[in-house]
Amino acid sequence: MKPWTASRLLATCGISVALWAVIAGACLMVGSTGWGWPTARELALRWPNVMVASIVGAALSAAGVAYQAVLQNVLAEPYLLGVSSGASLFAYLSLMATGPLSSILAPLSQQGASFLGSMAVLALVLALSQRRGKLEPVMLVLVGIIVSTFCGAAYLLVYHLNLRHEISFGTGGPLRLLVGGINTSLSTNQIAVAACLIFIGFLALMYLSGQLNVAVLSEAEAQSLGVHIDRLRWTVMIAASLMTAAAVALSGPIGFVGLICPNLARVVIGADQRRLLPLSTALGAGVLAIADAVSRGLTHWTSGPLPVGVLTGILGGPFFLFMLWRSRLTTDS
């Protein structure tokens, strides 16, 4: 493995940022009013969407890289642990809360409730997945799937009980909390807080990216290289889940971005986490910005803005099946 110098780091980050900038610039030329060079008014309307989509996509993709490394599974992605389902449930509860529950959740903003739900579910999953203070990857996945399913069912139950009291949640109403979409009603402070949390998580992952290269080894092999694998797993899981929680607070649950982008970046640049992480982050920002631009461009043919979670789901489902088929071929050979 080649030594990782400051010049290599700056070059990798510079190329990644440049890639995102080109994609973001192209996305600014697409909107519900048409295609082409934007006017000042159109630019003012489109720029926040592109930025929020980029922030969310970057967070989900970076978290996907981290999950895939510590869980030793290229099919892992940020919503594997039920973080998104918990965020959606708490956000909807904050809108529907009555009685004693309202005194707890109603004062929170929708984003605050989303973040609280994400971290509550994360704490539950981590607590149930450890054995003698050590996280077990297989148990982590199983518990995450169970908790995610429970939160999804609870959300649908609350939605059904409050069907007569429809409340809008950005574009798409409660639907956005199920499939995810770029929220156009966020304040600058809400975006800034989420962006800061995501940036802190990204810095932590970049700092640990060299150690992530040995996460695929056994615990004895990692120990011989000076890496405490269980401590690394705890730290990375918390940092990646913090980024996911902040992203869900902005957009709701947008699936498959954390699966597609890390695997595409891995094909281009290899498995070195020090290069994979920044490129995958930029790719995630660009992919979700493109999905948001396509959603806005399709407004002429739909009854309203199409949630980007629908587009990522349509693309991500077949991609997941392809990756699963490819991994089976590799195992059989």
281 contacts 300 by C-beta, under 8 angstroms: no
State yes or no: pLDDT of 110 exceeds 80: no
Across 266-283, average pLDDT: 92
Q: Does residue 83 lie in a domain region?
A: yes
State yes or no: pLDDT of 317 exceeds 90: no
pLDDT > 70: what percent of the chain? 83
State yes or no: pLDDT of 60 exceeds 90: yes
d(CA 164, CA 77) in angstroms, rounded, equals 35
Closest alpha carbon to 289 in 64, 52, 38: 52
**Given this model, what pLDDT does residue 270 score?**
87
Q: Does residue 6 lie in a domain region?
A: no
Confidence of residue 18 (pLDDT cuts 50, 70, 90): very high
Q: Does residue 24 lie in a domain region?
A: no
Across 272-296, average pLDDT: 92
Confidence of residue 36 (pLDDT cuts 50, 70, 90): confident
Closest alpha carbon to 228 in 81, 236, 58, 256: 236
- The domain of 112 spans 49-332
* Segment 238-254, tens digit of pLDDT: 898 889 888 888 888 88
Across 41-45, average pLDDT: 82
Confidence of residue 169 (pLDDT cuts 50, 70, 90): very low
Q: What is the CATH number of the domain that holds 220?
A: 1.10.3470.10
> What is the CB neighbour count within 10 angstroms for residue 274?
17
101 contacts 139 by C-beta, under 8 angstroms: no
**Given this model, what pLDDT does residue 328 score?**
64
* Segment 68-101, tens digit of pLDDT: 888 888 878 887 778 888 888 887 787 675 545 5
Q: Does residue 38 lie in a domain region?
A: no
Phi-psi map region of 190: left, alpha, beta (phi>0 left; psi -120 to 50 alpha): alpha
Across 206-220, average pLDDT: 83
Across 144-151, average pLDDT: 89
State yes or no: pLDDT of 224 exceeds 70: yes
The encoded tokens of residue 140 equal: 């982590």
Q: Does residue 224 lie in a domain region?
A: yes
d(CA 235, CA 50) in angstroms, rounded, equals 30
Confidence of residue 279 (pLDDT cuts 50, 70, 90): very high
Give me the phi and psi of 283, to 5 degrees please.
-65, -40
What DSSP string describes 266-295?
HHHH-S-HHHHHHHHHHHHHHHHHHHHHHH
State yes or no: pLDDT of 51 exceeds 80: yes
The encoded tokens of residue 262 equal: 């890390």
Tell me the residue ranges of DSSP E strands in 46-191: 130-131, 134-135
Q: Distance of CA 233 to CAs 130, 214, 240, 241, 248, Å?
A: 11, 11, 10, 12, 22
**Given this model, what pLDDT does residue 171 score?**
43
Higher pLDDT, 50 or 215: 50
Across 203-213, average pLDDT: 91
Q: Does residue 304 lie in a domain region?
A: yes
257 contacts 287 by C-beta, under 8 angstroms: yes
Q: Among 82-91, 101-110, 167-176, 259-268, whose mean pLDDT is lowest?
A: 167-176
Q: How many domains does the chain have?
A: 1
What DSSP string describes 176-238?
HHHH----TT--HHHHHHHHHHHHHHHHHHHHHHHHHTTTTS-HHHHHHTT--HHHHHHHHHH
Q: Does residue 274 lie in a domain region?
A: yes
CA torsion angle 205 211 214 219 (round to 10):
-100
- Go through 284-303 and write b for each residue having 16 or more CB atoms within 10 A of its CB, e for each that does not: bbbbbbbbbbebbbeeeeee
**Given this model, what pLDDT does residue 172 score?**
42
Across 112-131, average pLDDT: 83
State yes or no: pLDDT of 109 exceeds 70: no
Q: Does residue 152 lie in a domain region?
A: yes
Across 303-316, average pLDDT: 78
